[in-house]
Amino acid sequence: MIRYPNGKLYEKKQSITPRKSENLTYSNRGMTLEDDLNETNLYYLEKGIAVIHKKPTPVQIVDVHYPRRSAAVIKEAYFKQSSTTDYNGVYRGKYIDFEAKETKNKTSFPLQNFHDHQIEHMKNVLEQGGICFVIISAFHKVYFIEARILFTFWKRKEDGGRKSMTIQELEENGHLISLGYQPRIDYIKVIDKLYFNQ
């Protein structure tokens, strides 16, 4: 049993089991990309496939109010530093590092969803031989984009060109990830194909 500092009982969100006839898209599932990736990573961990976790964002707590002994209320807190990417871990002896992004934009994926420090971090990971990519949920589909490909679109933006990726560019340069139940977003299949020739 887990309780919050105020004494309230922690309740885990119940997973939604899709019906076989239901079309698995983000428009009707009520789940976020992050929720699905967390469920996928838990599946990978439990099955001994990979160890990949969401990185915690470091926070500096400045002011805490204690109205009573069993309840603490954070009044003021700041992010200690800019975050890098969302997830990291290890798979088949290789370091894995990736960012997850969603958009509701109907015509393109805005590159403003990424930050300079994230791009720099991904470049550093690749230089050290890690596997680095982004998972993008857009247009009711989920895409796996290798970091090196993202960099070409980022450079185009930096050089004064288009500041987004079109649907066509995502489809031509990305790998579509089919959605399922267990695992929900099986991105390891794409890693196997791209990096382990399977």
Please provide the CATH number assigned to the domain covering 26-195: 3.40.1350.10
pTM: predicted TM-score of the whole model, two decimal places: 0.75
Candidates 166, 186, 142, 158; CA nearest to 50 is 186
C-alpha pair distances (Å), 126 with each of 33, 38, 149, 170, 192:
24, 23, 12, 21, 17
Sorted by where each begins, the domain ranges of the chain are 26-195
Q: Would you say 192 is a known binding-site residue?
A: no
User: What do you get for the CA distance between the two ends of the chain, in Å?
Assistant: 42
Side chain identity at residue 124, one-letter code: N
Residue 133 — φ and ψ, nearest 5°? -160, 175
**86 in a known ligand binding site:** yes
According to the annotation, is 118 in a ligand binding site?
Answer: yes
**Would the annotation count 198 as a binding residue?**
no
pLDDT in tens, the chain (198 residues): 454 555 555 565 554 444 444 444 443 344 589 999 999 999 999 999 999 999 877 677 778 888 777 788 877 777 665 678 989 999 999 999 999 999 998 889 999 999 999 999 999 999 999 999 999 999 999 999 999 999 999 999 999 999 999 999 999 999 999 899 899 999 999 999 999 987
